[in-house]
A and B are shown apart, each in its own frame.
Chain A
Amino acid sequence: MTHRPSRPAAMLIAARRLGMLAGLMAASATAWADAPADEPPEVRTSASLDTWLYGSQTELYADSLLNPGNRLLRVPANQANAEARLSLRATLDSLDAVIDTRAWAQRDWLGPHSDASVPERTQNHSQINLTQGFARIKHEADTFVAGRELLTWGPGTFRSPSNPFYFDAGRTQPLAATPGIDLLRFTRGIGPWRATLGNVFATSEITPAIRMPHTRFLKVDHQGDSHLISLNVALRDHEPGFVGAFAQLTPDDAWLLYGEVGMSSRPAPSGHTWLGGASYTLENGHTFTAEWLHNNGGLRPKQMAAIIDQAEASVQLARQFSSLGDAWLDERMRPLLAQTPRLLGRNYVWLGWQSNPQDTQLIWRTELTTNITDGSAMAMFYIEKNLVPKVSAFAVINQMGGSRRTEFGAAVQSRLTLGLKFFVF
């Protein structure tokens, strides 16, 4: 049992850390104070509002072992979504203020129940989030940030092993709106070196949810002519630490080579994750990317088989004894699923092919993710076409494959999403 400090003690600890950061700022403030006073302040503001309307249709595997009759995961057969994303920016000389908000409403149609007498169910969800909201001061090579910031890094596309807060890179989910974390950070740059010291107060907005409040981190970067190397350490009181690193190299115009690693005993008992990748860009701007990820915290084949066997046995019992009902099945299965790691497998290959992202009229992307351990795979295709200056249409197709005893073949078979984006201003 770990001993957690009392609330007053925790506040005292936090205050001391804030004091350290404030001291760092003060030490730099004298160097920052001698900015020339004869130039008029530069003031810039910008605002943008996008609204998205999109709907999804999901096909499930009827013979799913982990989600029989969709009674456990309750994946909606159809979804309708409306989103509004407002972004505000203001700059006064070296001071930036950033506010990104997202308002989201979703209606789910859960599809027919296994019990025909139960009517089709619908659910409504809505939320308003502050995705980012921070103030940033830049002076020479130094930066200070306070607020909620999307603190992501690393060259990996499939996942970001080197980041303790954002393992799921999100680039495999084109409609994702990733929220920031609440922090204070200070970056000092000297020549090609940058050192960042930060304190993260809350990570509660991130989904899938992670809980890493009161995390201190140190990140050191070396920026060269054609490379970027980074090392970071994240620590929490009475919790296992995290060490991450990444490196990327641009040997010429066409190639990009990179790797990421993260080591921690969170969330799995022994978690280290490695990613290696390479991308090649053609003259027309199209890019081919290949990544391999080793996830040491993933399930071994026997562990995965044990989960499937337990699930299958529970389903058989529920079928045999109809009086057991959904609640019983839920009680049996949910703890089982809660123990599964963030990535089920131990080895993945991710392949991507995309158009020139600088194109303003048409962009597309296709990806294939393969779980090498169990042989299952997921393909994704995304396309977005600008119809008129303020309206774009988009489509996302996901297709899963593999036996019911595999990660991508366990529950969802396919998903089709169609939508429109309106760029209001």
Chain B
Amino acid sequence: MNRINTATTSSPQPRSSQRMAALALAAVLGVALSAAPRAVQAEPDAQALVRSADQARGGGLPGLVWEVHLVNTGSTIDEQPDERIRVMATATSSLAEVLDPPNVKGSKMLQVDRNMWMTKPGLKKPVAISPRQRLSGQAAIGDIAATNYAKDYDAKYLRDETINGTPCHVLELTATSRQATYDRIIYWVAAQKGVAVKADFLSLSGKKMKSADFDYDARIIINGRTIPFVSRMQISDALTDAKTTMSYSKIVVKAVPAAEFDVANLR
């Protein structure tokens, strides 16, 4: 860095000296700015990143109807058959109907905020169930419905990281309510596309319980804009080789009437 002569004297400096001092100051400032860009560039808005990622997984939409094909694999899985489920979801509610396998066809699971019920053909009335009664394999009911992490979690920016060649923002999500499916999530959101690439699901103590990765081969149109949409989510158990792969298809974005989430209409 050139030394800047800032000495003050009582006598006025010549004009050429003033011009040179100004140029030197500008050069110093330019070097300082280029040498330390992070010091002045704003950290990405973590909550905005989560909202963007949510939209590609059904969040923030007026409603969503889709089919989910669940496949369970792993040495600890006792030959669980594939399941095919039709789901209607809004921000706070979801209704899932099992289409396959035949022995549970027609079973329905209703979730309204933190309340959940299920019914099966032959059951006299819907039964209140717990979110702990996991849907299938590693998948919870929250994994097949629309994702609203922005509503259920506080997001904190951690760092940048590249996953499989994709630059990502890494966020830490902490549940703000007991309604959230998971206590804490480490969330990788692609920097360019704004979609979630990977997630680690942690307990309150920070122990990793499951992890997930996502594909976005589907497309939906929102307000005339085509955006990528989740087509596959694979959840892996942290301790065993058990995995559940969910493939999403027949995706329709539309408002779902509230009457669909009335427990009296589960028949």
Contacts and interface: CB of A to CB of B under 8 A. Distances in A.
For this complex, into which size category does the number of interface residues on chain B fall? 35 or more
Interface stretch (B30-38, B45-53, B133-141, B148-156): B133-141
A323 interface: no
- A155, A283, A361 interface centre (most CB from chain B within 10 Å): A361
A327 to B, nearest CB: 37
A256 B132 CA distance: 12
B122 A177 contact: yes
A116 interface: no
A276 to B, nearest CB: 14
B133 A358 contact: yes
Nearest to B177: A225
B102 A389 contact: yes
A150 B131 CA distance: 26
B43 interface: no
22 contacts: A87-B106, A139-B259, A140-B259, A142-B259, A143-B264, A153-B263, A157-B127, A170-B125, A171-B124, A177-B122, A189-B258, A189-B259, A226-B113, A228-B115, A228-B263, A258-B128, A358-B118, A360-B81, A360-B136, A390-B102, A423-B103, A423-B105
B-side interface mostly: loop
Given A166-B125, A225-B114, A358-B136, 12 more contacts: A50-B121, A85-B122, A98-B267, A138-B265, A141-B258, A155-B128, A194-B262, A225-B113, A253-B178, A285-B133, A356-B134, A357-B129
Contacts of B129: 281, 287, 357-358
A291 interface: no
Given A48-B121, A224-B113, A423-B102, A187 B262 contact: yes
A358 to B, nearest CB: 5
Contact of A143 (B112, B120, B131, B265): B265
B57 to A, nearest CB: 22
Contacts of B259: 138-143, 187, 189
Determine chain A's interface SS by DSSP, over half rule: loop
Interface in A128-160: 132, 136, 138-143, 149-155, 157, 160
Nearest to A178: B124
A285 B132 contact: yes
A258 B109 CA distance: 19
Contact of A171 (B102, B118, B127, B130): B127
B74 interface: no
A215 interface: no
Contacts of B136: 358, 360
Nearest to B92: A225
Q: Which of B83, B115, B122, B129 lies at the interface centre, i.e. has the most chain A CB atoms within 10 A of its CB?
A: B122
A69 to B, nearest CB: 34
B78 interface: yes
A372 B137 CA distance: 41
